[in-house]
Structure 1
Amino acid sequence: MSQTYVTGFPRIGEKRELKFALEEYWAGKTDFEALKAVAKTLRNRHWNYQKERHIDFISCNDFSLYDIMLDTTVMLGAIPPRFENIDDKTDRYFAMARGDDDHAAMEMTKWFNTNYHYIVPELHANMNFSHVNISKIAEEFIEAKAQGVHPKINLVGPLTFIFLSNAVDGSDLFNLFDAVVTAYAKVLYAISSLGENIVVQFDEPLFAKTLEPKFLSLLKIAYERLGVVSPNLKIAVVTYFDRANEAVEILGNCPIWGIGLDFVYGEENLDALLHVNGKMLIAGVIDGRNVWKNNVSKTYNLLEKISEKIDAQQIIISTSCSLLHVPFSTQFEEKLAPEVKSRLSFALEKLVELEQINTLWEKQEKPEASACTQKAPSVKSSAIAYTRSSYTTRFALQQKALNLPLFPTTTIGSFPQTKETRAVRNAFKKGEITREAYEASLKESIKKCVELQEALGLDVLVHGEFERNDMVEYFGELLEGFAFSENGWVQSYGSRCVKPPLLYGSVSRKQPLSVDWSVYAQSLTDKPMKGMLTGPVTILNWSFVRNDIPKSEVAFEVARAIAEEVDELQRHDIKIIQVDEAAFKEGYPLREEKIKAYEKWAVESFKASIGIAWDQTQIHTHMCYSNFNDIIDTIERMDADVITIETSRSGNKLLKVFQKANYKAQIGPGVYDIHSPRVPSVEEMSEQIKAFLHVLPKEQLWINPDCGLKTRGWSETKAALANMIKAVHLAR
């Protein structure tokens, strides 16, 4: 009898219950016991959903109050020394994630090529990992058993943990390999006391990347040791997001029970199956990253290909990765057009798909090939001609037109969106207020925002984006080819959730996207007003994109629409236009051989979106949470005039990449972290600017927060920006 396996499950809740419980706790409205009660309710509910669909391998320890990497840091006792003075474990946990009045938060960055953010562990050469603690695991395991579930236990694998950590002392973290594996062995030994025949899932997505041979040798050492810790345990090593052929050759000879592979985004894994060597194969054939309904006949054919290379009794049918990356259920979608909703499959529906394909596979009932439900339109993939002059020529024209001071100050775009702002937008969407009343409210918010920026002394202003629910969803709502869910929320980090658009059809611009708001805001001030747009690559990477035509073709459709908006903005005398590519890096393939093709269409589509800009129109872009070492040449090819980046949690190591590459355009490093409610002092920001000037010439430097201010409160925003301006005056 074949079995089913879910790699991991969403934790935010079907109606974002965890988000609201966290935010009430952080606001002091509830205590920690109330938060724990919500978390327990969600875990039990999620286990029951999987039980109802007869899932054989259900996870515990895939749930977190903030982030699994942060939980792993705590489990291993790898608390950064700067947090050790916080006695209360809960306060310390959230201070590590979010910061507090006395502690800057730990760095946060993207989980491989997804839009999920993880907290980056801070390790140093002398760590001994002597305080291993599995209390969270044990608590959830016992809870699951009480619900009639014999759960597998999910752990971040040791190699992935080390690779994704930061060395705060500059040491080679792989010198800690023995200590980390020893700590994991202690974890396994403690887990083995919880019962018999416990499956422990080690997530090692690291091995879907192109890696140096040393990592493969360490993989062998790690799982030869961990695989024999206890006969009570069945060790499964799971990779996802791409192929992992080299790792399979190693793992096939390790004393482990199972190997998990992603056949949706790494069909090349078929070539590795000869090396499975009798292990159980956790075959990821149900797409865990996208929302389109499973093609049953295609999936069945894939299972047949797998079974040609290994015994069918070894196959466990699984999701390709954790379902963390998709919304909870389509059952809450009442307004989607039937032709769109009928194509969708969220987390709960994927459980049904898993059960369905498993039943067919068990009975050897091959389904008929399904007719294609999406008809590919003719796609206008030709790029708009790129006619901009060299950066040097543009810089001179822009300086003359804008007359900006040394260290120009700006923000990334959005300002705080209060409950009142959201309430007005929701009232308009529900038809409770007229368009005139809605627009009057927005204009009042914009007016106050412009007045605040002028009072603070910012040099380049923004309109605040009060009309926008999300930097991608807003534009999608105004473009043809997009649909929107009501409750399609996906966790981005902590309590932060996003609702990605559903890009299902041919994209075109039928109306202005932002022109009216930018023109109105510019009428209120003599200072330059930035037009704010989202770039084509980010729109794709933060949407669920149709999978019936190449992504590159869709990107050029979106780029053409953005280019039309750029042209209309500049014709309305908007002299600075920001085309954000916050998600440019996260779309990168994990395998080197696939990168060049991605870079080609990503750069060309971005340039297609800005190629219509006049030389005197200054083009900004924004990227966040990226390691730029390997893409600095690509960023140069994008040819923006100003790039703003996140550096507040990562020191100046990102800037040094730009220095080493002799990057000529202007750069706005984030001078403070907007993901924390903490307000940095003038002195702290002054030191940050001084540090920037050790890396960049003063003529290249802009000063700004590291990201948009949408999620912050007004009081902390005013205080932080005021301190930023004071620091800039000192620097000048």
Structure 2
Amino acid sequence: MTVVKTSSLGFPRIGLNREWKKSLESYWKEKIDRETFLQEMDKQFLEAVKTQLDQQIDIVPVSDFTYYDHVLDTAVMFNLIPERFKHIQDPLDTYFAMARGTRNAVPCEMTKWFNTNYHYLVPEFEKSMEFRLTKNKPLEAYRKAKAFLGVETKPVILGLYTFVTLAKGYEKQEVASIYQQLIPLYIQLLQELELEGVRWVQIDEPALVTASREEIAAAKEIYQAIKDEVPTLNVLLQTYFDSVDEYEELISFPVEGIGLDFVHDQGKNLEQLKSLGFPKNKVLAAGILDGRNIWKTNLEERLDWITELVSEIRVSEIWIQPSNSLLHVPVAIHPDEQLAKDLLNGLAFAKEKCVELHLLKEGLLSGKAAIGEQINNVNRHLDILKHFGTATDQTFTEEQLTEKDFTRETAYEKRLTLQNESLGLPLLPTTTIGSFPQTAEVRSARQKWRKQEWSDGEYEAFIKAEMNKWIDIQEDIGLDVLVHGEFERTDMVEYFGEKLAGFAFTKFGWVQSYGSRCVRPPLIYGDVEFKEPMTVKETVYAQSLTSKKVKGMLTGPVTILNWSFARCDLSRKEIAFQIAYALKKEVEALEKAGIQIIQVDEPALREGLPLKERDWNDYLTWAAQAFRLSTSSVQDTTQIHTHMCYSHFEDIVDTIEELDADVITIEHSRSHGEFLEYLEHRPYLKGLGLGVYDIHSPRVPPASEMLTIICDALKVCPKDRFWVNPDCGLKTRQPEETIAALKNMVEAAKQARDSLAQTVS
């Protein structure tokens, strides 16, 4: 008889009402003291554990909870603290300085966690570092859960192989040496857990899904070294986000359990499991619920699937769990949620997914009839969803398109000449990425309007006043290309989703993006259609206030898709093309209204990239096509910009060129010049703006620091098509620091221009 248990890999940290975010930001603003902050963090940690226990999850994780980021936790735990932060004496201050920077030190680089919209802090290796275990965070979490809730839990640790893979600052030939330095620390950590009486520990190794045979062999040696020194602790080696290529070798690792993703594996994990078997002496942790989307699970289909698997494989013990940590979905359906009932009934957030796991366990142990009522309810809700938001006669279909829809008529070099003549911009033009600070006043005004305390006219007058103020500020600063500031927008995806058909929005469905930054991803439930112009009114008004050019600001189709919870009955390509076709009409409306520079942001383009390189081409092809479908119908004199952030751009330079944008602005300041090294060997010859300062930190860098970045960039970038800009939008910053930083940026650009002029003369 197979033992069946339910397991969770991780749970959202932010709380049902974002209590975690509020505590964090209150501490940063010194509204609460450290003791209060730590007490509130403990309360929220225990609440997350209790929520899972209340849904009868058998094996609940701990130490997935963090004050900022779990990868940063691991770096600090092993003393990977860069030299620029070593002068800070207090450990908590050091931790947050690495995340947010200080007046004199840039924060650690931030990038996407595999192909998700969660951002992690990149660990940095330096030769002078002395690795040691500063504290045993998993042990502390285990003890707290046991002391306050009286339960056994499963500490979660980021695996050594994945941790090193995600880090920077070392050469390939140094990897073995780094392993040898860190293995004793992992052993020490696990031995302390073993002595405490911990039964199971989950070691997350998502990077193993893309590991080569040689890398898998090296990882196996790590686990053998651990097993030799920690023989009685049960280890679950957890993979997710894709299938494991070296499956046969993986299942031979000296661990007691293997976790596999059976949702995002394209059927390959199941195929290998059936053809190559699974060790009878190991626990199979089967990820059978989608941990990255929010639609209810088809319980009947999943129950049939897992029942057949158990009968075929005959493992001694199986844990049924989500495909990955539930970090990527909202905490729970809020009691005050305001979605249409038929749509709301089709959703399952983290808490509800735990309920689904328990139901599947009951069905597996007691038969389908035991959960027959719940199966019927789910089937009814899912059937209603199929007909929710049906297509109209105006719905776009891919068959309507021709090659012309994806192609600008004139080549870039000729367009550049025409645009230079038309726009009249100086050398090294300065601009921002789009948004300006969303102050408490802006947020308050929006709330009053949404609550109908303000009329449409009152709210519109307020937005116009903000635009007036910030157009004046931009002119005073001396920026060359201005923006309207996006004060009417809560979020760069939500704003457009609210104005397009086929989208719905929760009121409380928050998800962590990075640090305390939370977003509410839209739900794409139906066919996406353009209804009316979405940005023209504000952009045209801003343009009327200045003789300088104002950019139209749109979010691109692939980013809207990747930052939404998308329907499952259409391919991602089909949905992207629907969004692109709707945005095409908006681009045309802006151009018709006289806007000559239009920015279509695609910060999430690389985020959607499949993890395995062999799967890249198909995605990148249709992603580039979707962008071009949005932008290719404009005149030659209309300049198309795009923006990308926190990506390994060297992986997708060919695709960036295929977008055929006139200018691309990208994050650069946190990457310590790594992309410039790539550009030395692989020049990018269209318009390019490399971010000269980090907007995720309150730090205001001096003009001299930005000038250095500009000068370094001009060594490898053509000066006649180089732009100067921040890393990203300025929505989360305070007005004072924004103005100060932009003044320094404009001064740096001026000094760079003067230097170039002197060189020419």
1:100 counterpart SS class:
coil
The aligned runs of 1:323-472 (5 Å cut-off) are: 323-365=326-368, 370=379, 372=383, 373-375=385-387, 377=391, 380-381=397-398, 382-383=400-401, 384-472=405-493
Which amino acid letter does the alignment assign opposite residue 222 of structure 1? I
The alignment's TM-score, normalised by the length of structure 2, stands at 0.93
CA-to-partner distance for each residue in 1:508-555, whole Å, 9 max, x for gaps?
A: 111111000000000000111000000000000000000111111111
The aligned runs of 1:441-520 (5 Å cut-off) are: 441-520=462-541
CA-to-partner distance for each residue in 1:60-91, whole Å, 9 max, x for gaps?
A: 10000000000001111211122111101111
2:206 corresponding residue in structure 1: 205
Is 1:254 aligned to 2:253, yes or no? yes
Instruction: Give the gaps of 5 or more residues in structure 2.
Output: 754-761
Provide the C-alpha distance between the structure 2 equivalents of 1:174 and 1:695, rounded to a whole number of angstroms.
Answer: 34
Identify which of 301, 307, 315 aligns with 2:304.
Answer: 301
1:236 counterpart SS class:
strand
Which amino acid letter does the alignment assign opposite residue 525 of structure 1? T
Provide the C-alpha distance between the structure 2 equivalents of 1:290 and 1:644, rounded to a whole number of angstroms.
Answer: 30
Identify which of 584, 587, 591 aligns with 1:570.
Answer: 591
CA-CA distance at 1:426 after TM superposition: 1.0
- Asked if 2 retains the 8 angstrom alpha-carbon contact of 1:219 and 1:250, the reply is no
Which amino acid letter does the alignment assign opposite residue 201 of structure 1? Q
Provide the C-alpha distance between the structure 1 equivalents of 2:45 and 2:556, rounded to a whole number of angstroms.
Answer: 37
- Asked if 2 retains the 8 angstrom alpha-carbon contact of 1:121 and 1:164, the reply is yes
Higher mean displacement: 536-545 or 184-193: 184-193
CA-to-partner distance for each residue in 1:396-415, whole Å, 9 max, x for gaps?
A: 11101101111000000000
Provide the C-alpha distance between the structure 2 equivalents of 1:677 and 1:305, rounded to a whole number of angstroms.
Answer: 54
Identify which of 635, 638, 647 aligns with 2:659.
Answer: 638
2:569 corresponding residue in structure 1: 548
Provide the C-alpha distance between the structure 1 equivalents of 2:306 and 2:227, rounded to a whole number of angstroms.
Answer: 27
1:80 corresponding residue in structure 2: 82
Higher mean displacement: 118-127 or 254-263: 118-127
CA-to-partner distance for each residue in 1:555-574, whole Å, 9 max, x for gaps?
A: 11100110000001011110
CA-CA distance at 1:142 after TM superposition: 1.0
CA-CA distance at 1:309 after TM superposition: 4.1
CA-CA distance at 1:230 after TM superposition: 2.2
1:219 corresponding residue in structure 2: 219
Q: Residues 168, 720 of structure 1: CA spacing in aligned structure 2 closer, same or farther, 3 A cutoff?
A: farther
CA-to-partner distance for each residue in 1:162-210, whole Å, 9 max, x for gaps?
A: 010011689744541221222211211122222142x11111110222x
- Asked if 1 retains the 8 angstrom alpha-carbon contact of 2:506 and 2:522, the reply is yes
2:259 counterpart SS class:
strand
Is 1:132 aligned to 2:144, yes or no? no
2:229 counterpart SS class:
coil
Provide the C-alpha distance between the structure 1 equivalents of 2:417 and 2:336, rounded to a whole number of angstroms.
Answer: 52
2:62 corresponding residue in structure 1: 60
- Asked if 2 retains the 8 angstrom alpha-carbon contact of 1:333 and 1:485, the reply is no
1:19 corresponding residue in structure 2: 21
Instruction: Give the gaps of 5 or more residues in structure 1.
Output: none
Provide the C-alpha distance between the structure 2 equivalents of 1:699 and 1:379, rounded to a whole number of angstroms.
Answer: 40
Which amino acid letter does the alignment assign opposite residue 220 of structure 1? K
- Asked if 2 retains the 8 angstrom alpha-carbon contact of 1:245 and 1:271, the reply is no
The aligned runs of 1:530-549 (5 Å cut-off) are: 530-549=551-570
CA-to-partner distance for each residue in 1:403-460, whole Å, 9 max, x for gaps?
A: 1111000000000000110110111111111000000000000010100000000000
Is 1:311 aligned to 2:314, yes or no? yes
Which amino acid letter does the alignment assign opposite residue 219 of structure 1? A
Provide the C-alpha distance between the structure 2 equivalents of 1:134 and 1:100, rounded to a whole number of angstroms.
Answer: 24
Provide the C-alpha distance between the structure 1 equivalents of 2:227 and 2:240, rounded to a whole number of angstroms.
Answer: 20
Provide the C-alpha distance between the structure 2 equivalents of 1:388 and 1:153, rounded to a whole number of angstroms.
Answer: 58
2:698 corresponding residue in structure 1: 677
Which amino acid letter does the alignment assign opposite residue 226 of structure 2? L
CA-to-partner distance for each residue in 1:311-347, whole Å, 9 max, x for gaps?
A: 1532110111000000011133431011211111101
Higher mean displacement: 438-447 or 29-38: 29-38
1:531 counterpart SS class:
strand
Q: Between the two proteins, what is the percent identity of the paired residues?
A: 46
Which amino acid letter does the alignment assign opposite residue 365 of structure 1? K
Q: Residues 276, 312 of structure 1: CA spacing in aligned structure 2 closer, same or farther, 3 A cutoff?
A: closer
Which amino acid letter does the alignment assign opposite residue 252 of structure 2? N
Provide the C-alpha distance between the structure 2 equivalents of 1:117 and 1:28, rounded to a whole number of angstroms.
Answer: 25
Q: Residues 728, 192 of structure 1: CA spacing in aligned structure 2 closer, same or farther, 3 A cutoff?
A: same
Higher mean displacement: 609-618 or 579-588: 609-618
Which amino acid letter does the alignment assign opposite residue 111 of structure 2? T
2:758 corresponding residue in structure 1: none
CA-CA distance at 1:128 after TM superposition: 4.5
Q: Residues 411, 226 of structure 1: CA spacing in aligned structure 2 closer, same or farther, 3 A cutoff?
A: same
1:94 corresponding residue in structure 2: 96
CA-CA distance at 1:591 after TM superposition: 1.8
The alignment's TM-score, normalised by the length of structure 1, stands at 0.97
Q: Residues 288, 148 of structure 1: CA spacing in aligned structure 2 closer, same or farther, 3 A cutoff?
A: same
CA-CA distance at 1:596 after TM superposition: 1.6
2:725 corresponding residue in structure 1: 704
Provide the C-alpha distance between the structure 1 equivalents of 2:251 and 2:227, rounded to a whole number of angstroms.
Answer: 12
1:141 corresponding residue in structure 2: 142
- Asked if 2 retains the 8 angstrom alpha-carbon contact of 1:228 and 1:255, the reply is no
Provide the C-alpha distance between the structure 1 equivalents of 2:10 and 2:749, rounded to a whole number of angstroms.
Answer: 46
Q: Residues 309, 152 of structure 1: CA spacing in aligned structure 2 closer, same or farther, 3 A cutoff?
A: same
The aligned runs of 1:712-727 (5 Å cut-off) are: 712-727=733-748
Identify which of 110, 115, 118 aligns with 1:116.
Answer: 118
CA-to-partner distance for each residue in 1:706-732, whole Å, 9 max, x for gaps?
A: 000000000000100001111111111
Provide the C-alpha distance between the structure 2 equivalents of 1:593 and 1:297, rounded to a whole number of angstroms.
Answer: 33
Provide the C-alpha distance between the structure 2 equivalents of 1:479 and 1:606, rounded to a whole number of angstroms.
Answer: 17
Which amino acid letter does the alignment assign opposite residue 726 of structure 1? E
CA-to-partner distance for each residue in 1:670-726, whole Å, 9 max, x for gaps?
A: 000000000001111111111112221211210000000000000000100001111
2:641 counterpart SS class:
strand
Provide the C-alpha distance between the structure 2 equivalents of 1:186 and 1:275, rounded to a whole number of angstroms.
Answer: 33
Higher helix share: 2
2:52 corresponding residue in structure 1: 50
- Asked if 2 retains the 8 angstrom alpha-carbon contact of 1:388 and 1:613, the reply is no
2:756 corresponding residue in structure 1: none
2:512 counterpart SS class:
strand
- Asked if 2 retains the 8 angstrom alpha-carbon contact of 1:632 and 1:657, the reply is no
Which amino acid letter does the alignment assign opposite residue 67 of structure 1? D
Higher mean displacement: 180-189 or 82-91: 180-189
2:236 corresponding residue in structure 1: 236
CA-to-partner distance for each residue in 1:7-47, whole Å, 9 max, x for gaps?
A: 00011111001101111111111111111111111111111
Provide the C-alpha distance between the structure 2 equivalents of 1:160 and 1:386, rounded to a whole number of angstroms.
Answer: 41
Tell me the matched-pair count.
728
Provide the C-alpha distance between the structure 1 equivalents of 2:198 and 2:590, rounded to a whole number of angstroms.
Answer: 66
Higher mean displacement: 330-339 or 408-417: 330-339
Is 1:560 aligned to 2:581, yes or no? yes
Provide the C-alpha distance between the structure 2 equivalents of 1:47 and 1:176, rounded to a whole number of angstroms.
Answer: 34
CA-CA distance at 1:275 after TM superposition: 4.7
